[in-house]
Structure 1
Amino acid sequence: MKNIHTLQLMDTHAGGDVSRIVTGGIDALPGATVREQMEYLRDDADGLRRLLLEEPYGIPEMSVDLLVPATHPEAVAGYIIMEVMGYPIYSGSNTLCTATAVLECGIVPKQEGIQRFALEAPAGLVQIEARVHNGVVESVTCEGLPSYIDTYRDTIQVPGIGEVTYSVAYSGGFYALVDATKLGFKLIREEEQALSACAHKIVEAIQAKRGFSHYTLGDVGPLPFLHFMGPEEQVGEGYVRSRSTTYVHPGVICRSTTGTGTSARLALMNYEGRLNVGDKLETISLRETGFIGTFTGTHQEGAYQVVENTITGRSYVLAHSDIVINCDDPLVACGELHHILSDRHHANAVKESSIRSA
C-alpha cells in the first residue's frame, strides 16, 4: 500500500469559480514565508497543482488552495493558490473560498455576527471580515491587492479583430481592460466561447508588443489576463453595477467576475476621476453572480496612484472528500509530488499551529 496516498479536500465555489481547498495529506513545506513555500511548490513539487487541475481528478477551470500553517504572527492560516496558468500571489475568489474553509474546518471557530481575522497569502497578510448568521457564512469581505493603472487607452492591431483600445491595470496580475460593447459583446453566457477566442487574440497581440513591470515586484512575466467591461448602470448613490467577465488562460473564462478583475476596474474608475471613498462597483458575471468592490482610498507609489479596495462575495461549500492517489496509476505523475505526500490530516496541523501561536 506504500503507493497509495490520500488527500483531504473541501470543494467550494465563489461566484461559480470552484476552489478546491486541500486541508490534509501534504507534508509541511520548506520556506520561512508562505511566499517561499509557494516558490518551493512551483519549482520542486508542481505535480500537486497538475494532479488536482488535470484529468482524471480535475479540470483547468478549477483552482486549488493548499492550507499551510501561517508564518506571519497575525495570521490564523496560510494558503497557496494554484491555477492552470501557475501560482498567482493573490486571488479574490480563492481568498473568499479559503476564508470560508478555515471557518468551516474550525481553524477559526464560527461565531454569530461579524468575525475578523487575517490570512497569509503569498502576496502577504490579508485582512478578512466574515458575516455569520445561524451558523452559515453568509458573506466574506477581503482586502484586494493595491491596484493601479499602468497603461491608459492604448491601441493595438489584433489579427482577425482590427484595432482594439485597451488599458492595463495591476491588481494581483496584469489585466488588459477592454470595452465589451465596442467588440460587439453583450456579455451573456452564450458568448463564452467567442469571448475566450477574442480575448486570446488580444492577449497574444499585447504580449508580442510589450511586457510589463511592477513597481516593486519587477518583471512578473507576460500579461496573462483580460477583463471585458460592460456598460455601467448607476443603481444608487456611489453604487455602480456592470456586467463583466475575465479571461485567464486559453479556453478558460472565469465563472465569476474575479476579485482581481473587480479591483482592476476600480483602479480604472479612480484613474478617470470617477470614484469617492466608499463608492462601490458590483460586477456581474455571465452566470449572473456578482462581487462587490469597494474603493477605500489611495496612496502614492512612485509615479503610480495606487487604489486600496476590498472585495465582498460569498463562498459555498460543495463537498468534503478524500481522494485516493494511486502512484501505480499511469495517469498519476507521482514523481512530481511523492516527496510532499503525507497521511496526516493537514487541517488539524494548521489548526494546532494557529492555536499554539494565539
Structure 2
Amino acid sequence: MRWKKTITMVEAHAEGEVGRIVTSGVIDIPGNTMLEKMNYINEVDDSLRRFLVFEPRGYAQMSTNLIFDAPNKEADIGFLILQGDKAHAMSGSNSICLVTVLLETGMIEMKEPETIVTIDTPAGLVRASAECNNGKCERVTLDMTTSYADQLDAIIEVEGLGAVSVDIAFGGIFYALIDPAQFDLKILPENARQLVDIGTRIHKAVNSQLDIKHPELEDLKGISYTMFVGHDDDGVMKGATILPPGRIDRSPCGTGNSARLAVMEARGQVKVGQSLKARSIIDSEFQVEIVAKKTIAGKSGILPRVSGRGWIHGIHQVGVDPSDPYPLGFKVSDCWGDAFDLLS
C-alpha cells in the first residue's frame, strides 16, 4: 500500500443521521474564523470535501465533519460540516455526533454526570451539555445560535408545481419550511422519493426567486435545505429535511427544528420554555424548546435548545493511491439523485 494521503474518522450517528468525525490527517484549513474556513472550502478549494464525501470514500447519506483548534478562544473545538453540495455552517445532528465522539474517545475529558463542550461554528458559538454515565455520552443538549423567522407565507413559482407557499427561517442555516398537505402528502418513508423530488424543485425556486441573507453574517445567504413540516396522528411534530443531492435527513434535524420553532413562535404557536418532541421520517426523536427570545439586528428571534442521542458505530480510515483514477471521487445519479446543479 502506498497512499499519499491518509485520513482517519470515527463514525457516529445521531438518531439515525450519520456524521463522521475526522480525527487525524487534516491539520487545518486557511481562515481566521470558522466562517472564513467554510468559505475557503466553498469558494477556493473544495478538493478535501470531494475526497471525503464523494464515492468511493463517502456516500450520499452522510456528513463528514472537520475539527480544528477553535479560532474563538471561548470555544473548546472548531467544527465544519462537509456534505454533498458544500460545507455548511451548522448542524444539530452532526454536533451531537461530534460531542459523542470527542467524549467517548477521550479527545476531550469526560466528566460525569455532565460535560460542557463549547463549539465554534461558522454560525456562531454553540454550547453542548452532555449527560454522561459510566463512560457513555447518553444525551447531548445543544444551546443553538439565535434563530429567526425571515419570511412567512412567501409564494414562489415552482416548475411543475405552480404557486407554492413556504416559510423562510434561520436556524443556524436557512430553511424553506413547507407544509406537505399542499401536495396531499404525509411525511412517511414510502413517500420519501416524492418528498425529495418536490423539496428539490422548491429549493431551486426559492434561491432563484427570493433574497435571503443573514443580517449580521453576510456570507450566510440563500437556503441550505428545504424541510417538510407536519404532525403525526398523536400530535408530535414531524419533519423531513431534504438535503442536496436529493435525500432525507434520517434525524429529526436540529437546525431545521430551530428554524421551525422560530416560525412557530412568530405565529404564537409555542411559548418560551415549552418542551416539544420532534420526530423524523424514521420516527427517531429530538426534544426541542425555546430557551428565550432574542433580537438579532432588529429582528425578533429566539434561542432554541435541541436534545438528542448519538452512538459511535465504527472507525474508518481512507486514503488515495497515486495511481487511483478517482482521487477526488465521483457521483452517479442512482445514489446521488438528479439535483446535480445543487452540487458544487
After TM superposition, is the score higher than 0.5? Answer: yes
Matched, 1:247 2:236: no
Worse-superposed segment, 83-92 or 25-34: 25-34
Residue of structure 1 aligned with 2:315, choices 320, 330, 349: 320
Could you give the per-residue CA deviations for residues 296-348 of structure 1, whole angstroms, max 9, x where no partner exists?
111223441011111111111110132232232111139xxxxxxxxxxxxxx
1:25 aligns with 2:25: yes
Of the structure 1 ranges 104-113 and 214-223, higher mean CA displacement relative to structure 2 is found in: 214-223
Instruction: Structure 1 unaligned segments of length 5 or more: list them.
Output: 335-358
Deviations 1:228-273 (A, max 9, x none): 111377x7xxxx7211101121422211121111101100110011
Please list the CA deviations of residues 25-79 of structure 1 after superposition, one character each: whole Å capped at 9, or x if unmatched.
Answer: 1223343333333333344441111111111111122111112112322322212
SS of 1:214's partner is coil
- In structure 2, the partner of 1:292 is 287
SS in 2 for 1:191: helix
Look up the equivalent residue of 1:277 and give its one-letter code.
V
2:213 touches 2:222 (CA, 8 Å); kept in 1?
A: no
Stretch of structure 1 that moved more, 174-183 or 56-65: 174-183
1:3 Cα deviation from its structure 2 partner: 4.7
The separation in 2 between residues aligned to 1:42 and 1:249, in whole angstroms, is 15
TM-score by length of 1: 0.85
SS at match of 1:140: strand
Separation in 2, partners of 1:59, 1:205: 26
Contact preservation (8 Å) 2:236, 2:277: yes
Q: Is residue 2:98 matched to residue 1:110? A: no
Residues 133-161 of structure 1 show CA distances to partners (whole Å, capped at 9, x for unaligned) of 22211100112221111111122333322
Q: Which amino acid aligns with 1:241?
A: V
Q: Structure 2: how far apart are the matches of 1:55 and 1:2?
A: 20
Task: Verify the 8 A CA contact 1:16 1:255 in the aligned structure 2.
Answer: yes
Closer, same or farther: CA 39–207 of 1 in aligned 2, 3 Å? closer
Amino acid at match of 2:54: E
1:279 aligns with 2:279: no
| Aligned residues between the structures | 329
Q: Which residue of 2 aligns with 1:9?
A: 9
Deviation at 1:2, TM superposition (A): 6.6
Pair 182,37 (structure 1): closer, same or farther in 2 beyond 3 Å: closer
- Which residue of the partner structure matches residue 336 of structure 2? none
User: Aligned residue for 2:262?
Assistant: 267
SS of the residue aligned with 1:287? coil
Task: Indicate the percent of aligned positions where both proteins have the same amino acid.
Answer: 32
Q: After superposition, where does 1:183-194 map in structure 2 within 5 Å?
A: 183-194=183-194
Q: 1:40 aligns to what?
A: 40
SS at match of 2:78: strand
Residue 202 of structure 1, CA deviation: 1.8
